[in-house]
Each structure stands twice: as C-alpha cells, then as structure tokens.
C-alpha cells in the first residue's frame, strides 16, 4: 500500500495532521505486521501567491483575511497545543515554501521517506516554533543538519534542476487529482481523506486501503 501525504510546511493543519497520522501508522503496523505501508511526502503550495521578501506571518494573514486573522491563528494554536505542538504565529515568518519542498524532495532521493520525515519535522518546527525564514538558504542548511541529511542534499535541493522539476511535477499531479486543500492523505491514488482528521479516521483509511488492494 502506498500512502502519499500532500502537505505544505507552512500549513499548521498539515503539522497537526502529521502528528495525528503517526499513531495511526503505529496502530496499523501492530495490527498488520506482515503489511508494509510505503509513505511519501508530496508538495502543495498553500500560498502560491507568496512572492517577494519574507515577512511576519500575522502581517501577511491580516492582509489576506482581515481582522479575523488573529482569532483564526489563536484557534489553530490551541488545536496544535492539544497534540503537543508549539504553533507560534507571533514569531512565524511568511515565506515561499518552494525551497523547503525542494529540500524534502532531495531528502527523498537521498534517503526515502525516513529522510523526508526528518526534514519535514525540522521545517515545521523551524517555521512554527523557531520563527525562522524557511526560504533562507542558511536556515535550510541548519534544517538539513538537524535532520541528519548528507551535506550534498542541500546543494541538490537548491541547485539541481531535476529536483525543482520533480516538485513542479508533483504540484501538477496534485491539481490533476483534484487536491485543493491540505493535508490530504491518498492511498494508492484511489481513496483519500482531507484535513487534520482524528487518528481513528486515518487508521480507517489505511484499513480500507488494505481491504481494497490496488487494482481491485
């Protein structure tokens, strides 16, 4: 079974959804030790219009959503805290996430999903907890170091045309699949759930995928 996680590292619900997915994967593995779930992060641009210099997240959100932005971020922060996450919109920096997606893609090439997961975890923490600019090459270098990625991965992420092309191809695939919001969890390109669903809902998705194998 293949599970693709369409996600953006500037998306708080993706961070929350990832956190809820992990116990679902553990529970599925315990119930089906003979089964293997092949995981992969796929990119999505939550703010495709994000261009120009990076700036404070609250400033960007207020410009986009108006005065209700503060109440929105407070609500999301509380949802994050319920699953043990620090979502600090007061210090978060709005920035293009294309370079971050390229780092996650280069991590996949280097070390598969385990490397992707470490990179994504560090990118989420950099954006939401550390208030770092995840479009900055220096920040991405520190992320790669903390994620234990080989030194060449950052260079590939930022300068290898094939990595940038792979990210663009995945973005096109997301549009072709009709994905308009994230997180979206897709099993074998056949069944999916959208949003930071409860762990039991994500486990049910995995169980349904196992009951209806690809090609059936």
CA quadruple 133, 138, 140, 142: dihedral positive or negative? negative
122 belongs to a structural domain = yes
129 belongs to a structural domain = yes
Residue 130 class from Cβ within 10 Å (0-12 exposed, 13-18 middle, 19+ buried)? middle
Q: What is the pLDDT of residues 36-89, one digit of tens each?
A: 999 999 999 999 988 788 999 999 999 999 999 999 999 999 999 999 999 999
56 belongs to a structural domain = no
Nearest to 52 by CA among 107, 94, 103, 9: 94
Nearest to 109 by CA among 167, 69, 30, 64: 167
140 belongs to a structural domain = yes
CATH number of the domain enclosing 30:
3.40.30.10
191 belongs to a structural domain = yes
Q: What is the pLDDT tens value at each position of the chain, 216 positions in all?
A: 999 999 999 999 999 999 999 999 999 999 999 999 999 999 999 999 887 889 999 999 999 999 999 999 999 999 999 999 999 999 999 999 999 999 999 999 999 999 999 999 999 999 999 999 999 999 999 999 999 999 999 999 999 999 999 999 999 999 999 999 999 999 999 999 999 999 999 999 999 999 976 655
179 belongs to a structural domain = yes
54 belongs to a structural domain = no
159 belongs to a structural domain = yes
Structural domain range at position 42: 2-49+96-211
Q: How many domains does the chain have?
A: 1
Q: Give 184's strand partners.
A: 6, 194
Residue 113: per-residue pLDDT? 98
Residue 204 class from Cβ within 10 Å (0-12 exposed, 13-18 middle, 19+ buried)? middle
How far apart (Å, rounded) are the C-alpha atoms in residues 209 and 204?
8
3-class DSSP state of 51 = coil
How far apart (Å, rounded) are the C-alpha atoms in residues 81 and 16?
9
At 53, list the tokens. Answer: 């210099």
Give percent of the chain above pLDDT 90.
Answer: 94
How far apart (Å, rounded) are the C-alpha atoms in residues 187 and 209?
6
């Amino acid at each position: 079974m293949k599970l693709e996680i369409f996600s953006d590292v500037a998306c708080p619900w993706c961070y929350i959804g990832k956190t809820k997915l992990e116990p679902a994967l553990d529970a599925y593995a315990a119930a089906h030790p003979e089964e293997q779930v092949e995981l992969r992060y796929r990119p999505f641009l939550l703010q495709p219009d994000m261009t120009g210099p990076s700036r404070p997240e609250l400033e960007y959100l207020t410009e986009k959503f108006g005065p209700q932005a503060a109440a929105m971020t407070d609500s999301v922060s509380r949802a994050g805290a319920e699953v043990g996450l620090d979502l600090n919109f007061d210090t978060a920096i709005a920035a293009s996430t294309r370079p971050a997606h390229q780092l996650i893609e280069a991590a996949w090439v280097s070390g598969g999903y385990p490397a992707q997961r470490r990179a994504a975890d560090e990118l989420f923490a950099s954006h939401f907890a550390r208030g770092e600019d995840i479009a900055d090459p220096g920040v991405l270098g520190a992320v790669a170091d903390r994620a234990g990625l080989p030194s060449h991965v950052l260079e590939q992420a930022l300068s290898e045309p094939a990595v940038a092309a792979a990210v663009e191809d995945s973005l096109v695939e997301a549009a072709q699949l009709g994905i308009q919001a994230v997180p979206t969890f897709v099993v074998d390109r056949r069944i999916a759930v959208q949003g930071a669903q409860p762990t039991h809902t994500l486990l049910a998705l995995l169980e349904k995928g196992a009951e209806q194998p690809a090609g059936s």
